[in-house]
Amino acid sequence: MALVRAARSSLRRSGGVIGNYASERDVFCEGISSLRHPTPIFENAVKGFNSSYIPNMQMINHLNFGNRGMKFTPQYQFPHAPAHTVEGSDSKHERSSYASLEATKQGEKPRVVVLGTGWAACRFLKGLDTNMYDVVCIAPRNHMVFTPLLASTCVGTLEFRSVAEPVSQIQKALAKDPNSYFFLASCTGVDADKHEVYCETVRDGRAFREPYRFKVAYDKLVIASGAEPLTFGIKGVHEHAFFLREVQHAQEIRKKLLMNLMLSETPGISEEEKERLLHCVVIGGGPTGVEFSGELSDFIMRDVRERYAHVKNYIHVTLIEANEILSSFDVGLREYATKHLTKVGVRLVQGVVKEVHPDKIVLSDGSDVPYGLLVWSTGVGPSEFVKSLDFPKSPGGRIGIDEWLRVPSVEDVFAIGDCSGYLEQTGKPVLSALAQVAERQGKYLVQLFTNIGKQNGGKALSAKDISLGDPFAYRHLGSMATVGRYKALVDLRQSKNDKGVSIAGFTSWFIWRSAYLTRVISWRNRFYVAMNWGTTLIFGRDNTKIG
């Protein structure tokens, strides 16, 4: 008993028990009794009670975690120990270190596993009937980002929490239902034959902390893992440029911008270095690049010149685009945006980046462009996870889908959002990586799953002969972009070559703000956004550097 108490105390200090669902007595005692083949390390630790083994041990046992029904196979994990493939396993992903959330049993609700918390995933999660399905969401972030307003957070027009909504607020079953979960993890593989996904938890930033690995069985799988920024293989982009797709990206840009402003006021800084520090370069003339340039120029015109009087004449913005800015917009709107951005101090350069260095970029014509802040916004492409999946691919490398958003080569797998695209045999073009496309796909998939559930097709391999109804059809509702200084563009054409309403100016800016205020994720966030806009209008942007 003394040995048990000492080992239990050591485990409690080390944090070796996973979660707070089971008692320490149950974890330790059941772990010893249920282990069929204890590792030599564990046997030595118990026999000789060398306490150096116990604190570093992570125990994963065959337990029932409270009333949420999570079960794990009896395994023991040691950080830094190599993972061994299970004998007789024909899956390259299945390893002895993988705990498991087992397949649903007869009489239980079907389980839908969703990969991602982007626009498509969250719209699907929001509408899914949890009286019909249990849901498991797996993603490396626990919130959705309202990306159209993300550029505003970089300069303090909005605060970061105004554009982020926790996924457990979007789908409350993830926090409350006993058999629904959110796991902060990244999916590393999918075994479509076994109906399992393999995951590892997000690292906590400490080098000695190894990620936990686990697998989750599914009845239906929805892949909505998004995309990654395109860099075209250009050297130095990942090392020196900032992207603008996540809240943490906006935080890093804001800190870098304010740091450069304050450093440039330091005595002894040369004129040349001051100009470099305060040169903000944006690569990519799409809506994100243009909106960020407009927000930045507005910040300079209204706030920097008032609060950084010593360096106000040094800061400027350059937007570099290989072709023309806002290529999907009406010609008249593109011309308006070009004139307005030039008027508010944004320098427009047509060029192609060849290489990126820590303090300058090299263009294809051989010219150098020094910079203090570099923001990269040249579109998105398939992620490494999507590339690794052994599924058919659409043109461009996305996961191939049919008209009902299914991956046709496997059963019970669907893909939506930026990670998916129509297969060539469907005869449909790959849809653009837009928020409204992802949202509409998520909404359609909710209806499809409701239809499947009503016909008792929710369980794995039970939807083969079920009528799916009408296929997904997308109708473009138009595009909007702000260019700063209370000006915006609104293009309501259904496609680039169609005719339709196209307006620019203050009226468009008012429409832009009204539309996005109504589309913000929750009433809480709408209140935050409205208050931030009002505070900025009266008092200016906050330039506090935190972190």
Residue at 482 is within a domain: yes
* Residue 279, domain CATH: 3.50.50.100
Residue at 36 is within a domain: no
Q: Are residues 373 and 386 in the same domain?
A: no
Rounded average pLDDT over 459-483: 92
pLDDT band at 97 (very low <50, low <70, confident <90, very high): low
Q: What is the rounded CA–CA span in Å between residue 35 and residue 47?
A: 16
500-526 confidence digits (pLDDT tens): 789 999 999 999 999 999 999 899 999
Q: Are residues 299 and 329 in the same domain?
A: yes
Separation of CA 107 from chain center = 34
Q: What is the mean pLDDT of the chain?
A: 84
DSSP 8-state assignment for residue 122: H
List the domain range (segments joined by +) for residue 529.
240-377+476-537
Residue at 436 is within a domain: yes
Q: What is the rounded CA–CA span in Å between residue 480 and residue 513?
A: 10
Domain end among 453, 488, 513: 453
Q: Are residues 343 and 390 in the same domain?
A: no
Rounded average pLDDT over 102-113: 95
pLDDT band at 312 (very low <50, low <70, confident <90, very high): confident
Q: Are residues 525 and 395 in the same domain?
A: no
Q: Are residues 281 and 250 in the same domain?
A: yes
Residue at 458 is within a domain: no
Q: Are residues 354 and 426 in the same domain?
A: no
Q: What is the rounded CA–CA span in Å between residue 267 and residue 259?
A: 15
pLDDT of residue 205: 59
Residue at 13 is within a domain: no
335-388 confidence digits (pLDDT tens): 999 999 999 999 999 999 999 999 999 999 999 999 999 999 999 999 999 999
Q: What is the rounded CA–CA span in Å between residue 62 and residue 69?
A: 11
Q: Are residues 367 and 434 in the same domain?
A: no
Does residue 285 carry a pLDDT above 80? yes
Q: Which two tokens stand for residue 123?
A: 């719209």
Q: Are residues 373 and 492 in the same domain?
A: yes
Q: Are residues 356 and 401 in the same domain?
A: no
pLDDT of residue 309: 87
Q: Are residues 292 and 386 in the same domain?
A: no
* Domain count within the chain: 2
Are residues 186 and 140 in contact, defined by beta-carbon separation less than 8 angstroms?
yes
Domain end among 453, 484, 513: 453
> Which string of DSSP letters, residue by residue, matches 61-129?
-S-B-TTS--B--SEEE-TTPPP-BPTT---SS-BTT-EEEPPPPTTSPPEEEEE--SHHHHHHHHH--
Residue at 520 is within a domain: yes
Residue at 251 is within a domain: yes
Q: Are residues 191 and 324 in the same domain?
A: no
Rounded average pLDDT over 253-260: 96
Residue at 71 is within a domain: no
Domain end among 404, 421, 453: 453
**Residue showing tokens 């917009």:** 329
Are residues 297 and 484 in contact, defined by beta-carbon separation less than 8 angstroms?
yes
388-402 confidence digits (pLDDT tens): 999 999 999 999 999
Q: Are residues 255 and 350 in the same domain?
A: yes
Return the SS3 of 238: helix
Cβ neighbourhood burial of 544 (10 Å; 0-12, 13-18, 19+): exposed
Rounded average pLDDT over 179-192: 96
Q: Which two tokens stand for residue 539?
A: 């008092």
